[in-house]
Amino acid sequence: MTGPAFAIDAIAAGKRAARSIGRYLNGEPMEVEEEEGKPERLSEEEVKSLKEQFPAEKRVEMGEEPVKERVADFREVVLGYTELEAVGEASRCLAGQIEGCIECRECKRRCDAGAINYEMKDETIQVEVGNIILATGYDQFDPSVIPEYGYGRYENVITGLEFERLSNAAGPTAGQILLKNGRPPRSVAIIHCVGSRDKNFHQYCSRVCCMYALKFAHLIREKTDAEVYQMYIDMRCFGEGYEEFYERVGTEDGVNFIRGKASRVTDQALNEEEEGKLIVCVEDTLLGNFMRVPVEMVILCTALEPRANAEEVARLFSIGQRADGFFLERHVKLAPIATMTEGMFIAGCCGGPRDIPDTVAQAKAAASDVLSLLARGKVGIEPIVASVDEEVCAGCGLCEKICSYSAPSIDRLRRVTVVNKALCKGCGACAVTCPSGAMSLSHFTHRQILEEVEALVY
């Protein structure tokens, strides 16, 4: 309470407070000059006894990934402490061994990361908000479902994300591009559109693959003397400066481009040149020739696909999904970040494959839309919403089940349907489903529709 102090100072202050309380209870004067305490000198026997009672312990070593498993993937080598190991490491504190944790908070003061919080407790927080921005991202396509490419079977067939980690300065090889045997590759093949633009998996284009494949080719040529082959369907370099970079990689870096989708990767050699290498079988559609390209490393440019729990998230927030599984925007051109649910926005790859500039632009657009709604304070609702004739409604609940926006709900006391007009989008699904005809749309009642038809006929 008096400010930061060392543990020994805090203990001394506690003892002084205890003596003051004793004097107060005994009716003794409070203002007493206390003799300055002198450090206690321990004899050699006492020190020896303490050392025997509390022997020195070595630090608990963090576990590491086994070497045999480490060379097969790109996971972190150091696994960190488990809960039991962390408790064991903390129990090395001498004060903790003598009388348990005395909450001297020295560990908190020493922790540079600020990871220790003595007041923290488990809690569930409920926050009432007016807007939500969904930016759940994407999952990487698993290329092992295409056995022809040999991912998981050949150790030097890796994905683009794994190569990104490999070429990073903080990666397992400190940024050096190496094969699993520790040697730099002499030839590398980069296969485009693995899982995308494919009727068997995803028919859409993942957009980012062409450009990061060009970046990988540039890095390989910059760091090694390897020959690089790009097997592509079409090069889609759509952004600012992208086409120029494409030309630079092809002319200055000397990368070989083969227009055609690779059919398979094999290690079965047909001649001496192919011995000990991976052979990429591909048809060059420009030359009309079938080719076998021997290389030492294969990089698969895998598709971006919706998150595995995208359907669950869409149902939770009452938003739609496209046929490909990504979240559905209100309008692909006029409202690309808004959804059919007011106050719900999407940004980034949860709405479809996007590169970094597009993702940043969408994030800023979503934030600005949220700020504009917050500044207004009120939200306008659609004029065409569902309405219920309570005298006819039987409370069957079919409208509640069919509605994608959770607008209708059953009033259990009155046994009728009630519509939340703020959630209703006027799609008319409930009006069509209602067996008793109690549900209709404002300005589009059954009588109004019949009169419109009559006016057209006559």
Q: Domain ranges for the chain, please list them.
A: 1-39, 42-57+92-117, 61-88, 127-380, 386-457
- Can you give the pTM of this predicted structure? 0.69
Q: What is the CATH number of domain 386-457?
A: 3.30.70.20
| Alpha-helix residue ranges (DSSP H) falling in 168-262 | 209-223, 242-251
CATH of 127-380, one of 3.30.70.20, 3.40.50.300, 3.50.50.60, 3.30.230.80: 3.50.50.60
HSE-CB for 203 with a 13 A CA cutoff: 5
What CA–CA distance (Å, rounded) separates 441 from 113? 58
HSE-CB for 49 with a 13 A CA cutoff: 5
Residues whose CB is less than 8 angstroms from the CB of residue 282 and which lie 6 or more positions away in sequence, other chains included: 231, 258, 260, 261, 262, 263, 290, 291, 293
Partnered with residue 259 across adjacent β-strands are: 232
Burial level of 17, CB count in 10 A (0-12/13-18/19+)?
A: exposed
Which pair of tokens denotes residue 8?
């020994």
pLDDT per residue, tens digit, the chain (458 aa), is: 676 777 777 887 888 888 888 888 888 877 766 665 555 666 778 777 877 777 777 888 888 888 777 665 666 778 888 888 888 877 776 655 655 666 667 778 888 888 888 888 888 999 988 899 999 999 999 999 999 999 999 999 999 999 999 999 888 888 899 999 889 999 999 999 999 999 999 999 999 999 999 999 999 999 999 999 999 999 999 888 999 999 999 999 999 999 999 999 999 999 988 999 999 999 999 999 999 999 999 999 999 999 999 999 998 888 889 999 999 999 989 999 999 888 899 999 999 999 999 999 999 999 999 998 888 877 777 788 898 988 889 889 899 888 878 889 998 888 899 998 888 888 888 988 999 888 988 888 878 888 888 888 87
CA distances from 191 to 30, 49, 148, 232 (A): 85, 69, 12, 7
Q: Do residues 408 and 438 make contact, with C-beta atoms less than 8 angstroms apart?
A: no
